[in-house]
A = this chain, B = another copy of it.
Amino acid sequence: MHSLHPLFHPTSVALVGASSDPERIGGRPLRFMLEGGFEAPLYPVNRSGDTIQGLPAYASVRDIPHPVDHAIICVPVAGVEAAVRDSIAKGVKAIQVLTAGFAEVDAEGRALQDRIVGLCRDAGVRMVGPNSLGLLNVPTRFFATFSTALNGLTPRPGPIALATQSGAFGSAAYGAASLRGLGFSKIVATGNEADVDVSECIDYLVDDPDTRVICAALESCRDGDRLRAALLKAAHAGKPVVIMKVGRTELGAAAASTHTGSLAGDDAVYDTVFAECGAWRAASIEEMLDIAYLHSTAGQLPHNTDVGVVTGSGGIGILMADDAGERGLQLSPLPAAARTEALELLPFAVASNPLDMTAQVTSVPQGVPRTVALMLDRADYGTVFAYLAHVGLSPQRFTATQAELIALKQRHPQRLLVLVMLSRPEVNAALEEHGIAVFEDPSRAVQAVAALARVRQRRAALHQPPPPAGPSVPLGDVTTEDGAKRALAAAGLPVLPERICRSATEAAEAASAMGYPVVAKIVSPDIVHKTEVGGVLLNLPDAQAVAEGFATLMQRAQSARPDARLDGVLVAPMLKGGVELIAGIHRDPTFGPMVMFGSGGTAVELFKDVAFASAPLTPLRARALMERVRSTQLLRGWRGGPQYDEQALADALCRLSEFAFSHADQIESIDINPLVVRTQGAACLDAVIAVRAPVQGEGSHGTH
């Protein structure tokens, strides 16, 4: 049994701080449950020990003369610790602390919060909150919340679950959903997440048989590994997670100090992790509910990204095609035989996809279902849309069509059938009962289908992180370019043959052995940005130029940074040709090492042509990362140019990601700029590794 089970399935409940006033925070949960008809015993606890909303009340949880396995605590903050102790002593398995005034307020509050969660952990009791708006198990009418959103909006049972940190955000989504007639299985607001967090709720909801689709909302995430694991569990179980993440946590100043870090916005990392783990990030509450509605109605994801559109309006058909194209859906043409059939049925139709039935459809008996049948029977569209204007507002005119459409859906249970029309709630309900979804706005219908189709695609390439390796071997000195490159070369990345030289003679000899032209760069652990001190010389053509260059570089470095330790000059072959890209690592405080790959030159900053992926990469995921960067097109015979070595690039990204993952406790960031991809092979021409400052008392990148 999942350890959160007692939170959602109490067999008897104490309400500590229950109020006789049904409008007060301590009164509302009791009122909601009494009005709703919650069937397990409810024991109000109140210092007065009087009767509360018609129930006998007790002065303490300890005084309840029956077993109690769940306590809802809403006493003032000063009384919470005692209430927790009493509840634990009474033997509860689950506690909700609805009272606010803990870690969200000050250090004292944090200390109190730490104490109560410590008490719960020691006792093996799971706790939601503090500062939680409560939780609901809708089918059992366990409405343990003080949200005023329940005033007049009694929760309806349904297959949608909602797990949110912010209670106010949860109330907003709950209210909007309820006004749309959507029903819920479980709702939980995790508040301060001292114990139970949204990730663990998702994990629980995946197992919940009443839940078909999970809506979630985060303001922050403390444990990236746990979130990943929960999302992956949902993806493997086939339950879509539609997730909102508002707010942006600040990137640490250190992370911003390298090029990579300044691009690795925390928010892009959330996008990346959600996609890798098969979830869908919604940008608005409305979008989240649209997707939840569609999936809870259809009960499945579309099996491909191909859609067929049947329409009575050419304009709406084109609008939907535009929307589909913009959101990654395809509209494959109707097969020729089906087009012929369509034209036999509707001679004036535009028998392509969208299939415009035109106004004549009204004069053909069962014109709509026969056209939809063609789309379903004669092609393999994962989703078929039918735009039916406002026919749903005239139920008597729609009865026969409705019956035929339901029969069609039953014949094609594996397809999504989505109607777009203005309609009455009872018409929609009849269709929804048979798995047919109805949208009023065509663009929103397409957007919801596109999201589910993408979720399906994502399941084909989930990122299942391996267990973190043990303590990693020491990195050695990676503070110089030479040291960084040696470490990368040892990890299997392509690095040119190059040598640190301590004298002009040694430099000239090394260059002659490599072949001209060469590059020469100053090497110093104290000089990270070599170009700023004039520390790089390109295209040196012969031994004399190299010898002179050595002297020049040493002299420039000494004069620019008199205190810098100078290790010598790095001599390397000068590459010509190839495509300059960048690759790197940014250690996200929540999600650990993220691989960054992007365009070289100005495009990375000017056009944000950069994408992220969690380390480590598989070859498949390295390729997927490359596809998300437009400059990857430059490798593929761009404007008649050559084909460059994509395999070498994918290999380099994999090696880089493995190196970063296995040294996650030591590396803050890596910046390979440029990474040159050639027609054969690739080369890291420059590399900077920033080592992680040891952090007192912190593990790797999350708690396990």
Contacts and interface: CB of A to CB of B under 8 A. Distances in A.
A246 B603 contact: no
A168 B389 contact: yes
A491 interface: no
B441 A285 contact: yes
B606 A312 contact: no
A606 B579 CA distance: 14
Interface of A: 100, 105, 148-149, 151-153, 165-166, 168-169, 171-172, 175-176, 179, 217, 219, 244, 246-247, 283-286, 312-316, 318-319, 322-323, 348, 359, 389-390, 393-394, 422, 440-444, 602-603, 606-607, 609, 630-631, 633-634, 638-639
Contact of A444 (B284, B312, B315, B442): B284
B175 A443 contact: no
Contacts of A316: 168-169, 172
Contact of A176 (B153, B440, B631): B440
Contacts of A313: 166, 168-169, 171-172
16 contacts: A149-B422, A151-B394, A153-B393, A166-B313, A166-B315, A168-B314, A169-B313, A169-B316, A172-B313, A172-B442, A175-B393, A179-B440, A286-B441, A602-B639, A606-B630, A607-B630
B442 A166 contact: no
Given A315-B217, A315-B246, A603-B603, A283 B443 contact: yes
Given A315-B246, A389-B172, A422-B175, A634 B602 contact: yes
B602 A171 contact: no
A393 B246 contact: no
A628 to B, nearest CB: 14
A631 B605 CA distance: 11
A359 B100 contact: yes
B152 A393 contact: yes
A633 B175 CA distance: 45
Given A312-B168, A322-B246, A148 B286 contact: no
Contacts of A322: 246
A442 to B, nearest CB: 7
A311 to B, nearest CB: 8
A5 B646 CA distance: 66
Contacts of A172: 313, 316, 389-390, 442
Given A169-B313, A359-B100, A286 B444 contact: yes
A265 to B, nearest CB: 13
B390 A171 contact: yes
Given A394-B151, A638-B602, A318 B607 contact: no
A624 B318 CA distance: 31
B390 A169 contact: no
A176 B443 contact: no
B607 A179 contact: no
Highest count of chain B CB atoms <10 Å: which of A151, A175, A315, A359: A315
A171 B316 CA distance: 11
Contacts of A247: 315, 318
